[in-house]
Amino acid sequence: MRLTDANFDEEVFNSKMPVLVDFWASWCIPSQMMKPVIDNLSKEYEGKVKIGKINVDQNPRTRERYNINGCPTVIIVKDGREVVRRVGAQSDSQLRSLIDQYGE
């Protein structure tokens, strides 16, 4: 799902389900290449883990508030708390093992 400054807290920190957030930018080639992998995972984990994408240029407040200073950054939030953060391109299997370890 598309996350924005407007819905971020509600969808991520007040979520009952664990949430994986991909912080991306149009100028960041690795995050462009991760898009299809993220989309594929969001279908696969539907109902178990919420998977959202947020553009860091379009949503500066969230970027600053959560101190995102590298792109792409992936975090997992569980029960309103960030439990893990990875900066840099993540492969399909790395994302899956993150979700398995922290998201379920």
Partner 1 sequence: MEKLKLHNSDLTCWNCPAIDLAGKVDFRACGQSTKELAKISEDSDTYIMAECHRRPELGLFDPMGITFEECPEWQRTAYGYMLKDMRVMILGIDGYLGWTLALWLGKLGCNVSGVDNFSRRDWLKERGAHTVVPISRMTERLSAAKEVLDIDINFRQLDLMNDRERLKEFMDEIKPDAIVHYGECPSAPYSMIDAEHAIGVQKNNVLGTLGVLFSMRDIVPETSLIKLGTMGEYGTPLTGRPLFEGMFPADAVLTWDNREWSLGGELTPRDPVSFYHVSKVQDTYNIVEACKYWWLRSYDVMQGVIFGVYTEQVSADPRLRTRLDIDEWFGTVINRFVAQAVIGLPLTLYGAGEQIRGFIALEDAMQCMTRLIASPPEPGQYAVVNQMSGYYSLRELAETVAKIGKSEFNLPVKIQRLENPRVESERHPFEPIYENLPKRYGFKPQVSLEEEIYRMLKLLTQPKIKTRIEEKRHHIVPKTWWSGEKRQVETIEILPSGSQVETEEEKDEAYGR
CB of 16 to partner 1, least distance (A): 25
Report the DSSP pairing between strands 2-3 and 50-55.
Answer: parallel
Considering the rule CB under 8 A, would residue 34 count as an interface residue with partner 1? Answer: yes
Residues of 65-86 as b/e, b for ≥16 C-beta within 10 angstroms? ebebeebbbbbbbbeeeeeebe
**Residue 90 contacts partner 1 per CB under 8 A:** yes
Tokens of 81: 């708390």
**Of 70 and 80, which has the nearer Cβ to partner 1?**
70
Is residue 89 within the footprint of partner 1 (CB under 8 A)?
yes
Say how many residues touch partner 1, by CB under 8 A. Answer: 34
